[in-house]
Chains A and B, each alone.
Chain A
Amino acid sequence: MKDQFVVPARLKTTSFVLMGIGLLTLLIGIFAFHGEHGSTRFWAGLLQNSSFFALIILASTFFIGATTLAHGGWQIGFRRVPEAISMALPVLGGILFIVVMLIVFGGKEHIYHWVNAEHVKHDPILTWKSAFLNKGTFTGFMIVTISLWIFFTIKLRNMSIQEDGWDLTAATGRRIIWRNTVWCGAFIVIYALSVASTTPWLLLMSIDAHWYSTMYSWYTFASTWVSGIALIILFVAYLKRNGYLPMVNEEHLHDLGKFAFAFSIFWTYLWFSQYMLIWYANMPEETVYFKPRVWGEWRPIFFLNLIINFITPLLYLMKRDTKRNYSSMVFISIVILAGHWMDFWQMVGPGTYEHLVFPWYEAGLAVGFVGLIIFLVSNQLTKAPLVPKNHPYLKESIVHHT
């Protein structure tokens, strides 16, 4: 039984090549996009990618939290995978923090209009919002939320590794369940107050600072959550293909597939709830968000978004066989990840550089982030056995049957 992951040389090379492509794109971006207006796309691309990838990494912590609180047993067999993915958060969260700080304090007013104090003075709406939407609050929220995410991620991971060293008795079993439940409960509260509310307001919604939508945070959360599940599926399938995770079989894959299916529909539900209310009320201060997206240059992306993120997973994952096949799940996971990356692109693009362009720069950065995630996660996977052998629900996971 292969229990200890060893990073294959090929995977390491791949991750370095991908990271190299990302860095190269970044360098080209510095020269291609400069000047006051020109640099907008440079920063918008960084903001889009760093927030998307940090949040899908964080979705793994949320996966651990949610399944633990629900007393799920089925995920224990591969629980170390989301744990390892979530441990990329310190780096990804750090990158996100640096990027937004450079945007805010570098005065990139074409990304966030509200960072220009002179502009805010002459803008009644922004003046009204400035009690919340200002540099101090933004920085404070970012520091507090990102450090809390990292703290809880590391805490959950350390607890899980520490439990491997315990003797398995009824008392330690109860203790494992109890303390995991408590810490996960605390994390879910933090997560709900950040990712499901404030974080998307500050990171992405404040690009269109005049506009607001109460669905926006949930919609962003759903996007990152379903992508996070797709990422977990990719790593599980990779490990399985290389002969690891002997206890994981198509039953577990089937359940992950159900998650991807259900939350693709959930994303559509939230997307539609936001769209329909604005469409129905037809108030200018609200429709301004959808004008460039539905009736402007971004129209094809708007519909492509729905096709990739709703129609495709809906029809593809509806059948039982596709959810129980590793190749088909890898395919749809890549589609979902690409689709929601595109969703973030159309959240950021129209409000910043406005014109629909071929996203070579954004995609290049995304490739770099993918390489970074592969590098960090594969490193983390080697640091602990792939099966948490003392977890009381391990047997439930082994005999799991959907």
Chain B
Amino acid sequence: MAVKNFVVASFSDEAVLFPAVKKVRTAGYKIHDVYTPFPIHGLDHALGLRETSLHTAGFIYGITGTTTALSCMSWVFNSDWPMNIGGKPHFPLPAFIPITFELTVLFSAVGMVLTFCYLCQLAPFVKKHIFHPRQTDDLFVMAIEVTAKTNTEELKSFLASIGGQQINEQRAEAGWWYGRFDQDDRLFEAKRVEAVNA
């Protein structure tokens, strides 16, 4: 994780945001991320993000659940503590299916939620920099990373020309760090965020 410089612009609605994303990408600027108050269909394509692998992870978790359930139950009822239940065989597959199904669903659901949180960098006791307080309310916020080649003033006027509002520069930690949103950071003073030119 690294502290980086960003140019941040807000957009009033998605009809302005979409063309803006396209123009910013065509102009060659590096979009760090776009924050929207609600999920927007097609924005991932517009941003050129790759397809998520979350479903593959879900499949693997599900298979793990299936294997766990079947192997645990067959171990218990065949070698650990064989019991005669209603004259059924020691490996009564139909009776195992509901539990296998439940464990498959449980493993894939819980696993996918945790993976999703990890991918979104969401967790308790973890902080992320918020570029604009209204990004979860009614503003569409685009953060553009300032690289060595970026001319900041040019970028700001470019953003203003394509509908950006409240354009400012921020210096912030790009990833997540330990902390709580209701408390100031103590351990990682160096990562404290300050607005350069708010």
Interface residues of A (CB under 8 A from B): 272, 275-276, 279-280, 282, 318, 320, 401
Contacts of B86 in A (CB 8 A): 280, 282
Closest to A281 in B: B86
Given that A318-B59, A320-B55 are contacting pairs, would A272 and B42 also be in contact in the complex, using a CB cutoff of 8 Å?
no
Q: Is B95 an interface residue (CB 8 A)?
A: yes
Cross-chain pairs A/B with CB under 8 angstroms, 18 sampled? A272-B94, A272-B97, A275-B94, A276-B94, A276-B95, A276-B97, A276-B98, A279-B94, A280-B86, A280-B94, A280-B95, A282-B86, A282-B87, A318-B59, A320-B51, A320-B55, A401-B41, A401-B42
Contacts of B87 in A (CB 8 A): 282
Closest to B87 in A: A282
Closest to B95 in A: A280
Contacts of A401 in B (CB 8 A): 41-42
Report B81 CB to chain A, min CB distance, Å.
21
- CA of A280 to CA of B96 in the docked complex: distance in angstroms? 11
Contacts of B41 in A (CB 8 A): 401
Q: Mark B84-100, 1 if CB is under 8 A from A, else 0.
A: 00110000001101100
Nearest 4 CB-CB pairs, A to B? A401-B41, A276-B94, A279-B94, A401-B42
By secondary structure, the B interface counts as helix
Report B4 CB to chain A, min CB distance, Å.
32
Report A202 CB to chain B, min CB distance, Å.
29
Report B177 CB to chain A, min CB distance, Å.
34
Report A190 CB to chain B, min CB distance, Å.
33
- CA of A318 to CA of B41 in the docked complex: distance in angstroms? 21
Report A228 CB to chain B, min CB distance, Å.
26
- A-B contact sample (11 more), CB < 8 A, given A276-B98, A280-B86, A320-B55: A272-B97, A275-B94, A276-B94, A276-B95, A276-B97, A280-B94, A282-B86, A282-B87, A320-B51, A401-B41, A401-B42
Closest to B62 in A: A318
Interface residues of B (CB under 8 A from A): 41-42, 51, 55, 59, 86-87, 94-95, 97-98
Closest to A269 in B: B101
Contacts of B55 in A (CB 8 A): 320
Contacts of A272 in B (CB 8 A): 94, 97
Report A291 CB to chain B, min CB distance, Å.
16
- CA of A197 to CA of B42 in the docked complex: distance in angstroms? 43
Closest to B42 in A: A401
Report B154 CB to chain A, min CB distance, Å.
34
Report A304 CB to chain B, min CB distance, Å.
17
- CA of A275 to CA of B98 in the docked complex: distance in angstroms? 12
- CA of A272 to CA of B97 in the docked complex: distance in angstroms? 9
Report A257 CB to chain B, min CB distance, Å.
14
- CA of A320 to CA of B59 in the docked complex: distance in angstroms? 12
- CA of A280 to CA of B86 in the docked complex: distance in angstroms? 9
Report B86 CB to chain A, min CB distance, Å.
8
Report B132 CB to chain A, min CB distance, Å.
27
Report A64 CB to chain B, min CB distance, Å.
25
- CA of A282 to CA of B85 in the docked complex: distance in angstroms? 13
- CA of A365 to CA of B87 in the docked complex: distance in angstroms? 44
Closest to A402 in B: B41
Contacts of B98 in A (CB 8 A): 276
Contacts of A318 in B (CB 8 A): 59
- CA of A275 to CA of B41 in the docked complex: distance in angstroms? 42
Closest to B98 in A: A276
- CA of A318 to CA of B51 in the docked complex: distance in angstroms? 15
- CA of A150 to CA of B98 in the docked complex: distance in angstroms? 39
Closest to B41 in A: A401
- CA of A320 to CA of B98 in the docked complex: distance in angstroms? 27
Report B89 CB to chain A, min CB distance, Å.
11
- CA of A30 to CA of B94 in the docked complex: distance in angstroms? 42
- CA of A272 to CA of B93 in the docked complex: distance in angstroms? 12
Report B60 CB to chain A, min CB distance, Å.
12
Contacts of A280 in B (CB 8 A): 86, 94-95
- CA of A402 to CA of B197 in the docked complex: distance in angstroms? 41
Contacts of A276 in B (CB 8 A): 94-95, 97-98
Contacts of B94 in A (CB 8 A): 272, 275-276, 279-280
Report A273 CB to chain B, min CB distance, Å.
10
Report B195 CB to chain A, min CB distance, Å.
36
- CA of A401 to CA of B45 in the docked complex: distance in angstroms? 12
- CA of A367 to CA of B95 in the docked complex: distance in angstroms? 39
Report A303 CB to chain B, min CB distance, Å.
12
Most A CB contacts (10 A, CB to CB) among B42, B94, B95 go to B94
Contacts of B42 in A (CB 8 A): 401
Report B24 CB to chain A, min CB distance, Å.
22
Closest to B52 in A: A320
- CA of A272 to CA of B95 in the docked complex: distance in angstroms? 11
- CA of A276 to CA of B88 in the docked complex: distance in angstroms? 13
Closest to A276 in B: B94
Closest to B97 in A: A272
- CA of A279 to CA of B89 in the docked complex: distance in angstroms? 12
Contacts of B95 in A (CB 8 A): 276, 280
Report B58 CB to chain A, min CB distance, Å.
10
Closest to B45 in A: A401
Closest to A278 in B: B94
Contacts of A282 in B (CB 8 A): 86-87
Contacts of A279 in B (CB 8 A): 94
